[in-house]
Amino acid sequence: MDVRHSDFHSKSDFPPLLWFQPESYNHGQHRQRTARSQIPLPQLHKGDFFRNNLRDFLGDGIFNADGDNWKFQRQVSSHDFNTKSLRKFVEHVVDDELSDRLIPILELAVANKTVVDFQDILQRFAFDNICKIAFGYDPEYLSPSLPQEKFAVAFEQAVKLSTDRFSSLSPYFWKIKRALNIGSEKQLKIAINQVREFAKEILRNKKQERTYSIESVDLLSRFLSSGHSDEDFVADIVISFILAGRDTTSAALTWFFWLLSNHPEVESEILREIGEKSEAPAYDEMKDMVYTHASLCESMRLYPPVPVDTKAVVNDDVLPDGTIVKKGMRISYHPYAMGRVEKVWGKDWAEFLPTRWLEREAEGEKWSFVSRDSYTYPVFQAGPRICLGKEMAFLQMKRVVSGVLRKFRVVPEGGEPPVYISDLTAKMKGGFSVRIEKRRVS
């Protein structure tokens, strides 16, 4: 069903910019700050401009699909995000990557007193994780030698060159270069072929060896065991997932650790919270890490991993503020700007204050998390296309925060404030140079 903004009674029915859907974090102590009634949801279309730019790379994967094709993929992949799968993800994928790779690499940095690029390390961590989730393949990108792994490099190249198309003055420029197979389009074609061939090879091996079942952790095995074996279709889905999960959690964590280094009072409170949990907190314990959850939300309010996102208008419509939009137009919403609006976040919007997401009945009582509706805080988008991996992302991030902070202090090197840049996802310009220090247990 198409729902129009103009179908609703008054402008005041809406939070800024978009419609309402409650946050999905609903475990432990939790309340919603803006209680609004559930209303019908609109379709959210990527549209031709977005789809055409990314089609060579993403094909018709979920990230680049609209209509029935999108709906079908969303339904099938949703299974990967139920509680049982998420538990497995934390216990088998994140914990292994943390204890076998991230912690030893940080131990090494302490021993050798080296300055490391923590952004690079977190990106490698996230890439290994998402590859294991998407197709059960371990690229071992996070290894002490920080290797230039072929698949990861081709993937990076394909993302960069595909997103460069968005800044082309006219689509004709890149289309002509593509037709002539020259310059950046030639490089893009090579990178895409490498990525797709690689994905298909894994798929063929899995099919041949029949090393998959419906119980497998990875998405590819799930698709195969439920009878979907078309190579191109399955490769499209897997590639979309890698893109979605690759740089998002690492971007969030990079800014989070930087903010923490300037807010010792927040770090102490997080340490207190993780000190109450097991060394490798189980799924349920992580759900209860309310203060850490709030700190991550607050960090992404100021530095959202996806700073801007674009959709296409399905039908002529009028937005709540009276803006007329026409079918086919592109509309962008801007989580980076929306997280900094004084009217929404208050005069102290520029401050990093996890407590703005928390309440407690009385001094000394436990905190409870008070979420914002996802249209006020669209860091994971909102509505029917809200991020599928949101809960998985929080689990992964909390596990990393807990694992790293328990043992180490992350100390930025050099006094300059970092610069926030973005293509599809946000980055810290030039990386995040830090020293890792062993945390003394007091």
CB of 160 to ligand HEM, least distance (A): 17
Stretch that binds ligand HEM, among 175-183, 198-206, 304-312, 337-345 (CB under 6 A): 304-312
Instruction: Determine if 320 is a binding residue for ligand HEM (CB under 6 A).
Output: no
The token pair that represents 283 in the structure block? 């799924």
CB of 214 to ligand HEM, least distance (A): 19
- Interface mask toward ligand HEM for 269-288; x: CB under 6 A: --------------------
Q: How many residues bind ligand HEM (CB under 6 A)?
A: 23
Stretch that binds ligand HEM, among 116-124, 163-171, 201-209, 247-255 (CB under 6 A): 247-255
Within 10 A of 66 (CB to CB), how many other CB atoms are there?
19
Burial label for 265, CB within 10 Å (0-12, 13-18, 19+), is exposed
Tell me how far, at minimum, the Cβ of 380 lies from ligand HEM, in Å. 5
The CA-atom distances, in angstroms, between 343 and each of 16, 20, 323, 376 are: 10, 18, 20, 11
380 binds ligand HEM (CB under 6 A): yes
**18 near ligand HEM (CB under 6 A):** no
Question: Within 10 Å of residue 388's Cβ, how many Cβ atoms?
Answer: 20
72 versus 173: smaller Cβ distance to ligand HEM: 72
Q: Is 241 in the site for ligand HEM (CB under 6 A)?
A: yes
53 binds ligand HEM (CB under 6 A): no
- H or E segment at 411? strand 408-412
Footprint on residues 110-149 left by ligand HEM (CB under 6 A): 130, 133
Between 241 and 291, CB nearer to ligand HEM: 241
Q: Does 381 bind ligand HEM (CB under 6 A)?
A: yes
Told to check if 162 binds ligand HEM by CB under 6 A, we report: no
Q: How far is CA 125 from the centre of its chain?
A: 13
Q: b vs e for 182-215, b when ≥16 Cβ sit within 10 Å of the residue's Cβ?
A: eebbeebeebbebbbebbeebbeebeeeeebeee
User: Site for ligand HEM (CB under 6 A): which residue of 109, 191, 244, 400?
Assistant: 244
Q: Facing residues of 115 across strands?
A: 435
Q: Residue 45: phi, psi to the nearest 5? A: -105, 140
Q: Among 21, 119, 123, 249, which residue sits at the site for ligand HEM (rule: CB under 6 A)?
A: 249
Is there binding between residue 248 and ligand HEM (CB under 6 A)?
yes
The reply on whether position 74 binds ligand HEM by CB under 6 A is yes
Q: What is the closest distance, in whole angstroms, from the C-beta atom of residue 90 to ligand HEM in the complex?
A: 12
Q: Does 19 bind ligand HEM (CB under 6 A)?
A: no
Closest-CA residue to 128 (of 232, 7, 242, 12): 242
CB 95: neighbour CB atoms within 10 A?
Answer: 16
Cβ pair 244, 161 in contact under 8 A:
no
Q: Buried b vs exposed e over 96-127: b needs ≥16 C-beta within 10 Å? A: ebbeebbbebbeebbeeeeebbbbbbbbbbbb
Interacting residues with ligand HEM (CB under 6 A): 62-63, 74, 130, 133, 241, 244-245, 248-249, 252, 305-306, 309, 379-381, 385, 387-389, 392-393
